Chain A
């Protein structure tokens, strides 16, 4: 075990590391400048639990209805050996799939263990990749791996289709609707980056097996319900940009060692309970430990990170908490009260604050003047 791993283990404490999945890997790109998040993710800390234990539970929940809808749609698309999906791939996307075969990799000879399933996926995928022409295949429940910050993450794409224009295509099934050809752009963006994780994992699998990674297309097939009904419709998503972003973030994770080095040893965010079921560390202790790792809070965190309420509370006196654009417009001054004191001329601008002070004073003057003019 390297020093860094030992340090990360110490930070996490007695709890087992929380495995990554496509969603959490995709989330690495949401606020890559945040050291706190980088360390929590690298250590595999259970962020939702940590958030709750430190007194600021994450405001995220999932509705039963949404889950049910998602499952029902996926089942519909995959029913009868993906009959609906094949129709879609053939008709709508004009992709030539001759005789498609279908392989369900969910359980392998009765075993659902992850390594066994992954080995099976790998075997089938590499065989298909080498089999030349006639390999129209849909792999259902494949199991891929990706190394994330030195740890292996298991990933389960919805489907992988081969032999669409001689390429493996990742198929992502989502239950948000595409109405008149357009779907919620934020949801599509999330789907694109998740699919990019799968593309990356597939490429690594092929590369490890000595095959050409470019056999995996950088276009993925997004399948979602059409208009207001249940009929699936497909769209091709170009994920080249997402791939470069991901690759860059993954390679930055490798720099975690340097990051961890910056902080004193002995920091622990242990969430374990003692024998009586009482958390070993009090909320205040956890909070104090968390605050050692600098955060980079902005309101966007509220939609993307489980620690958001904690960080928002911590950042409440900053201009960043009012929005990144607000901080920018206030000349990059970090704290609300500093900005206001500079604006009032109460505070003397410190080093490098002259421009900001002048800007804020002008703004304050204009505001006061205009409010006065209006009576």
Chain B
């Protein structure tokens, strides 16, 4: 299975100008779809393809049509981000972004629907035009109301209804949650990244296998299975991932629709401000390789370890510490003059929470500004450099959890410049030894990409970027 570049990808190779125009065309298409009488529109977005921008633009366009819009995200953090973007984009003069024939000035307050325990974040508080309330009734005047899916699900039947809902991160939303909110809107735009982690249930039961309304699948899956004629669009350009990452991520995780890099080959560059600090050591070698190629595999000697392998934990921390010691500067199309990649621009990603905790401890208070989190919690986030503790590092056996394509996809697609993977040697052998005995249910569509294959593809790439730790 190879990542077939879409026409978008192929055309975009010419440079960033055509990438930009492709992206604009794709977004325009989606906005046009909204006016075309479809019941639903699904937009698949690869990592960093401007999903939130599209969500905001769509919300503005729909609000411009004069109906209140219901905007749904999955976490309070995501909701606050959207509120911030919407409010910053000021709901006036939607102009060319408006729905065809419905363009015009819209001005109106934005509603932030929230739960009892919610404390408004600074990025919400700074907007005067945002009304925060736990009650939908307080937000009746708002042109756009934003809330988490879980909160929307508690809105009393009949208390709210609208023509359009825009759902962000729809691949991370479970079908049963969509069922609970779907009565509040007639039409829906669902936007999400199909490559990331699937939603999960805390009970392990196959009672609903094969049913088109299986409550454990994602909101997008259930919608498509019942409405096969729904238009599915794809965003063709990743603005986040550098050209070095796009082919790898596209091939491994988006086998049926590639995408292009929004930046050109020379646009993204990392450099160290204090080059005198360089030492002839594996950590520095790995950093250099990552700076040059966008990737590095920092390989520890093969060993079966506990999950919180302290050597791997230390390696992750050391790589981050060293990167900061040497004063990393990131040059990009947005900052041609360079921006320091400080601790807040670096993330360390893990599969398990205890690994993240151990790394945080290893970093100590001095480096507390480095983000350390699990794949689940890094979804939707973006950094300059990421350091990834490979989920299979040190394992004796690969398990379905460790092989899950979405997990590796999240970890390998958070960076704008470079990704350094820390792993014990032996992962290819581990993959080869993996027994493929997954149960198969009738009438359940096979899931792609397959985690095992995605892992093979990523490892095959990383093998060419190996630095072995002494």
Contacts and interface: CB of A to CB of B under 8 A. Distances in A.
The finding on whether chains A and B are genuine partners in a shared complex, rather than unrelated, reads yes
Interface stretch (B34-42, B190-198, B389-397, B412-420): B389-397
Contact of A189 (B206, B310, B395, B440): B440
A296 B433 contact: yes
A313 interface: no
Given A32-B434, A178-B442, A244 B305 contact: no
A78 interface: no
Interface in A301-338: 304, 320, 324, 327-328, 331-332, 334
Contacts of B395: 328, 332
Interface in A145-204: 178, 181-183, 185-186, 188-189, 192-193
Given A240-B446, A241-B446, A182 B210 contact: yes
A244 to B, nearest CB: 6
A300 B306 contact: no
B435 interface: yes
Contacts of B397: 298, 324, 327-328
A327 B450 contact: no
A80 interface: no
B442 A181 contact: yes
Interface string A27-43: 00111110000000000
Contact of A31 (B206, B209, B304, B435): B435
A324 B430 CA distance: 13
Given A182-B209, A182-B210, A328-B395, A359 B440 contact: no
B437 interface: yes
B396 A324 contact: yes
Contacts of B434: 32-33
A175 to B, nearest CB: 15
B446 A32 contact: no
Contact of A188 (B433, B440, B448): B440
B116 interface: no
A355 interface: yes
Contacts, number: 100
B88 to A, nearest CB: 45
Given A185-B206, A238-B445, A252-B432, A355 B309 contact: yes
B437 A189 contact: yes
B280 interface: no
Given A32-B435, A185-B440, A324-B397, A355 B308 contact: yes
Given A181-B443, A188-B442, A355 B209 contact: no
A189 B439 contact: yes
Q: Is the interface of B mostly helix, strand, loop or mixed?
A: loop
Interface string B301-319: 0011110111000000000
Interface string B439-455: 11111011010101100
Contacts of B306: 331-332, 355-356, 359
Contacts of B446: 238, 240-241
B433 A30 contact: no
A32 B441 contact: no
A359 B394 CA distance: 15
A235 B209 contact: no
B209 A186 contact: no
Nearest to B1: A244
A185 B443 CA distance: 11
Interface in B287-309: 303-306, 308-309
A30 B438 CA distance: 10
Looking at B303, B308, B397, B448, the one whose CB has the most chain A CB atoms below 10 A away is B397
A186 B305 contact: no
Contact of B394 (A31, A33, A242, A332): A332
Contacts of B209: 182, 185
21 contacts: A30-B437, A32-B432, A33-B429, A33-B435, A178-B442, A181-B210, A181-B442, A192-B440, A222-B442, A235-B443, A241-B446, A242-B436, A304-B437, A324-B397, A328-B395, A328-B397, A332-B395, A352-B305, A355-B306, A356-B305, A356-B306
Given A185-B441, A188-B442, A193-B436, 11 more contacts: A30-B437, A33-B429, A181-B442, A182-B441, A189-B437, A237-B442, A241-B450, A242-B436, A244-B1, A354-B310, A355-B305
Interface of A: 29-33, 178, 181-183, 185-186, 188-189, 192-193, 222, 235, 237-238, 240-242, 244-245, 248, 252, 296, 298, 300, 304, 320, 324, 327-328, 331-332, 334, 352, 354-356, 359
